[in-house]
Chain A
Amino acid sequence: MNFIEARKLVHEYIRRDEEDNVESILTALDGVDLDVKQGEFVAVLGHNGSGKSTLAKHLNVLLAPGGGTLWVDGKDAEDADNLWAIRQSTGMVFQNPDNQIIASVVEEDVAFGPENIGVPTAEILKRVEKSLKSVGMIQYREHSPNRLSGGQKQRVAIAGVMAMEPKCIVLDEPTAMLDPNGRREVLEAVEQLNREKGVTVILITHYMEEVTNADRVYVMDNGKVVMQGTPRAIFSQVDTLKSYRLDVPQITLLAYELRKAGLAVPEGILTRQELVEALCRLY
């Protein structure tokens, strides 16, 4: 069985007026199928309001499925008894770095998760050290989060999740509020955790450049999964991506334009190096 298996997952936000009559129904998830294997790096792309954040909140049972089935780490997400076990095995990092750091000292924040699940004191100290090291933030352990940069705060948040020793991390637009340097820091930390510690990563984003290293990419629109495949396969469909309000990294777009203009550049170019090689071969 896959680590995450969603079948025809549905979620509706129902708005009611004061008399409890249904005012409007917004279908945020409309029959989503998702399969993620242990150790994979999966990216979910979509514009704002495409349902990707709602999907993320299901994986950690912050929202309960309104229809369909969801199994995480072999446990049924609909069974309330599995709630804490699932939250421990799939950690979650949110968009706003300030609104997810609870303590006024970095190491105390990282300890928050393990404290909640009742890890013994000596073990907590070990875990805090290990997870702060894994995101390169150990030298800030006694700092106040207020004086850290956005990228550093997000890395602390990731360490806080890692200290719970999850099998999977779900990151819900972790870089949307960061500058380019912060974005790079966070992405490098995440990719490293995936590569070296074998943590399953589900990265939710609308920055296409961030998903070039993913194993697989899902594209969501209007609550549905509309595309899935390797980054290369996805990026070669420039027009389709544009129709889903997404854009393509500048290099991929340039390759696409050159191809349209008649140069025999291969489809789905992801990096600058690839394009340089391709053009040199043609020249």
Chain B
Amino acid sequence: MLRDITIGQYYPADSMIHKLDPRTKLMATLVYILSLFVFRNVAGFAAVTLWLALVIWLSKVPFGYMVKGLKAIVIILLITVVFNLFLTPGETLVSFWKLRITEEGLKNAAFMTVRLIYLILGSSILTLTTTPNQLTDGLEKSLKPLNKIHVPVHEIAMMMSIALRFIPILIEETDKIMKAQLARGADFESGNLVKKAKSMVPLLVPLFISAFRRANDLALAMEARCYHGGEGRTKMKPLRYKRVDLIVYLAVAGYFVAVILLRRFL
């Protein structure tokens, strides 16, 4: 059930992408996403495709594994296609009943689908090649400047990594409570929406109580191990840029410039 969701789960492999500093990967992903909304012609599309193919190849994550993640967004994709296909004004190609497909619509639908697929593929490379802890470390360090305007960056990062640790535990717990209530004759499936919502109470109340109990225990355990916020903390594996990170930064910059130029001049 819930356990089967694989989208964006870390895939251990020994690749150059895996070894990059998470900050580099965050920045590169951001630039890549921007580039998806910059290109608007076939030449731009080709450049983006090449870049994506290169990164996937470098990451050593099997392509089939990545595509599995797309299953989750099939519905969104279909909606996008339908909307773009039928609702874009322009020169009519085919028409039946009240619907008509325009040339612009066709083009829009194609580009939007490609953009969405590329968006999911590109950003899943980030999560597939970076452990949750590296990711939060990277975010914490990248967002550090926000500390000056009193954004609790360390606390947010700590919360994220704790959430990542406890999500699987809570999923398992949900499963257990659900079974326990089923054994008492509970029914989570039949009935209308109101009845269904009501039937969730025996599941949600114990789940919340357990989550609070865990939070309480965890807070005690953290305090017992001298946790007192981000101040004066050291790191076992502090983030350090290597030469390869610099090269990647340059490559990303080059790629972005190329995409912009292709939009302008082709």
A and B in direct contact, judged by CB atoms within 8 A:
yes
* Chain A residues at the B interface, C-beta cutoff of 8 Å: 57, 60, 62, 84, 87-88, 91-92, 94, 96, 98-105, 107-108, 111-121, 124-125, 128, 145-146, 160-161, 164
Least Cβ distance of B230 to chain A in Å? 10
Instruction: Report the bound CA distance from A29 to B217 in whole Å.
Output: 21
Please name 15 pairs of A and B residues whose Cβ atoms are closer than 8 Å in the assembled complex, sorted by A.
A84-B226, A87-B226, A94-B217, A94-B224, A96-B217, A99-B214, A99-B217, A100-B218, A104-B133, A114-B234, A115-B236, A118-B232, A124-B236, A146-B168, A164-B225
Instruction: Report the bound CA distance from A116 to B230 in whole Å.
Output: 8
Do A121 and B238 touch (CB < 8 A)? yes
Instruction: Report the bound CA distance from A258 to B234 in whole Å.
Output: 60
Do A94 and B220 touch (CB < 8 A)? yes
Partner of B234, one of A101, A102, A119, A164: A119
Q: What are the residues of chain B within 8 A of A125 when measuring CB–CB?
A: 236
Do B234 and A62 touch (CB < 8 A)? no
Instruction: Report the bound CA distance from A62 to B227 in whole Å.
Output: 12
Given A84-B228, A98-B169, A100-B217, CB of A115 within 8 Å of CB of B161 = no
Least Cβ distance of A64 to chain B in Å? 13
B162 at the interface (CB under 8 A from A): yes
Do A102 and B162 touch (CB < 8 A)? yes
Interface positions of B from 160 to 195, Cβ below 8 Å from A: 161-162, 164-165, 168-169
Do B217 and A104 touch (CB < 8 A)? no
Q: What are the residues of chain A within 8 A of B228 when measuring CB–CB?
A: 84, 116
Partner of B169, one of A102, A112, A146: A146
The A contact surface, by secondary structure, is: helix
Q: What are the residues of chain B within 8 A of A57 when measuring CB–CB?
A: 220
Least Cβ distance of A114 to chain B in Å? 7
Instruction: Report the bound CA distance from A203 to B165 in whole Å.
Output: 28
The B contact surface, by secondary structure, is: helix
Q: What are the residues of chain B within 8 A of A117 when measuring CB–CB?
A: 226
Do B236 and A114 touch (CB < 8 A)? yes
Partner of B165, one of A87, A101, A164: A101
How many residues in B have their beta carbons less than 8 Å from beta carbons of A?
29
Chain A CB within 10 Å — which of B224, B237, B238 has the most? B224
Q: What are the residues of chain A within 8 A of B225 when measuring CB–CB?
A: 87, 91, 112-113, 116, 160-161, 164
Interface positions of B from 122 to 138, Cβ below 8 Å from A: 131-133
Instruction: Report the bound CA distance from A244 to B18 in whole Å.
Output: 58
Q: Nearest residue in B to A116 (C-beta to C-beta)?
A: B226
Partner of B221, one of A99, A111, A164: A99
Instruction: Report the bound CA distance from A160 to B169 in whole Å.
Output: 20
Do B233 and A115 touch (CB < 8 A)? yes
Q: What are the residues of chain A within 8 A of B98 when measuring CB–CB?
A: none
B235 at the interface (CB under 8 A from A): yes
Interface bits B103-145 vs A (CB < 8 Å: 1, else 0): 0000000000000000000000000000111000000000000
Do B235 and A115 touch (CB < 8 A)? yes
B14 at the interface (CB under 8 A from A): no
Instruction: Report the bound CA distance from A92 to B224 in whole Å.
Output: 6
Do A104 and B227 touch (CB < 8 A)? no
Q: What are the residues of chain B within 8 A of A112 when measuring CB–CB?
A: 222, 225, 227
Instruction: Report the bound CA distance from A120 to B131 in whole Å.
Output: 23
Least Cβ distance of A199 to chain B in Å? 16
Q: Nearest residue in A to B226 (C-beta to C-beta)?
A: A116
Partner of B133, one of A84, A103, A121, A128: A103
B223 at the interface (CB under 8 A from A): yes
Q: What are the residues of chain B within 8 A of A88 when measuring CB–CB?
A: 226
Least Cβ distance of A145 to chain B in Å? 8
Do B234 and A118 touch (CB < 8 A)? yes
Q: Which 7 A-B pairs have the closest CB atoms?
A: A99-B217, A100-B221, A111-B236, A113-B225, A92-B224, A116-B226, A124-B236
Least Cβ distance of B30 to chain A in Å? 24
Given A105-B133, A161-B225, CB of A121 within 8 Å of CB of B235 = yes
Given A87-B226, A113-B225, CB of A102 within 8 Å of CB of B236 = no
Do A62 and B214 touch (CB < 8 A)? no
Instruction: Report the bound CA distance from A138 to B221 in whole Å.
Output: 22
Q: What are the residues of chain A within 8 A of B162 when measuring CB–CB?
A: 102
Given A104-B132, A118-B233, CB of A164 within 8 Å of CB of B217 = no
Q: Nearest residue in A to B137 (C-beta to C-beta)?
A: A108
